[in-house]
Amino acid sequence: MANHLEGLVETIKSKVRALKKTKKPYVKMDKSSSVKVEIRSRKARNLIDKTLKLADRPGKRSHF
């Protein structure tokens, strides 16, 4: 099992070295507009949930 794992690690290392030698760097993709909208709506939903949770406890004063 250990020999198999060592072989796998060496294979991965050699592939990474080969990728570093190529002149084509990895290009990070930008988020699409629909993904950005989804992220904003999730953040808004979390903020609304926190606000409602705090509103359910009117006697307590706490901050976010």
pLDDT digits (tens, 9 = 90+) for 12-43: 998 888 877 766 666 777 889 999 999 999 99
Instruction: Tell me whether residue 47 is in a domain.
Output: yes
Domain count, the chain: 1
33 CB-contact burial (10 Å; exposed 0-12 / middle 13-18 / buried 19+): exposed
Q: Give pTM, 2 decimals.
A: 0.44
Instruction: Tell me whether residue 61 is in a domain.
Output: no
Q: Are 50 and 64 in contact (CB under 8 A)?
A: yes
Instruction: Tell me whether residue 48 is in a domain.
Output: yes
Predicted pLDDT at 61: 64
Q: Give the phi and the psi of residue 25 in degrees, each rounded to 5.
A: -75, 160
Question: 61 is written with which tokens?
Answer: 């004063």
Which residues in 40-55 are b (16+ Cβ under 10 Å) and which e? eeeeeeeeeeeeeeee
Instruction: Tell me whether residue 22 is in a domain.
Output: yes
Domain residues for the domain of 32 are 2-55
Instruction: Tell me whether residue 63 is in a domain.
Output: no
Predicted pLDDT at 28: 75
